[in-house]
């Protein structure tokens, strides 16, 4: 359904370090750098998904907004915690409830939430069904 996601940042360097560390745990290669019409971007391609970061093209400051969460699939609880540790070590801030199971009929999932250096809320998620289908 989605072709890509682009997140704004006011600090490309800090955001690139954060995502290189966290996404590396999830299996993505380090970012590539590109320049699109004079605007720098860092790009990660992994498992059919593209994530990009860039400073806003309108010249205004980047701000995060309430109600948006970007979710990342993990292959195990251990991998989730490794990615969370990498995120926290590279400028991320833990938010919401502590990492753990959220149980609901037919919708059990293990979650952790973190904000990236630009303030975007991210969710790291593991589902047992994903491990069984791999």
Show me where the domains of the chain are located.
5-55+67-133
Average pLDDT rounded to a whole number, residues 102-127 = 93
CATH code, 5-55+67-133: 3.10.180.10
Asked if residues 26 and 74 have their Cβ atoms less than 8 Å apart, the reply is: yes
Average pLDDT rounded to a whole number, residues 104-116 = 92
Average pLDDT rounded to a whole number, residues 6-21 = 95
Judge whether residue 111 has pLDDT over 80: yes
Judge whether residue 104 has pLDDT over 90: no
Nearest to 12 by CA among 43, 37, 38, 36: 43
Nearest to 23 by CA among 64, 60, 51: 51
Judge whether residue 81 has pLDDT over 80: yes
- Taken in order 53, 49, 72, 90, is the CA torsion positive or negative? negative
Judge whether residue 130 has pLDDT over 80: no
Higher pLDDT, 124 or 48: 124
């Amino acid at each position: 359904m989605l072709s890509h996601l682009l997140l704004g940042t006011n600090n490309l360097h800090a955001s690139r370090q954060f995502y290189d560390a966290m996404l590396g745990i999830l299996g993505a290669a380090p970012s590539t750098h590109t320049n699109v019409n004079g605007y720098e971007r860092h790009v990660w391609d992994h498992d059919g998904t593209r994530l990009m970061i860039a400073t806003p093209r309108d010249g205004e400051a980047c701000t995060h907004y309430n109600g948006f969460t970007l979710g990342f699939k993990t292959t195990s609880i251990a991998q989730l915690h490794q990615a969370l540790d990498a995120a926290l070590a590279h400028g991320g801030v833990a938010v919401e409830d502590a990492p753990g199971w959220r149980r609901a009929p037919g919708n059990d999932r293990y979650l952790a939430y973190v904000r990236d250096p630009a303030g975007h809320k991210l969710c790291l998620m593991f589902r047992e069904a994903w491990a069984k289908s791999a």
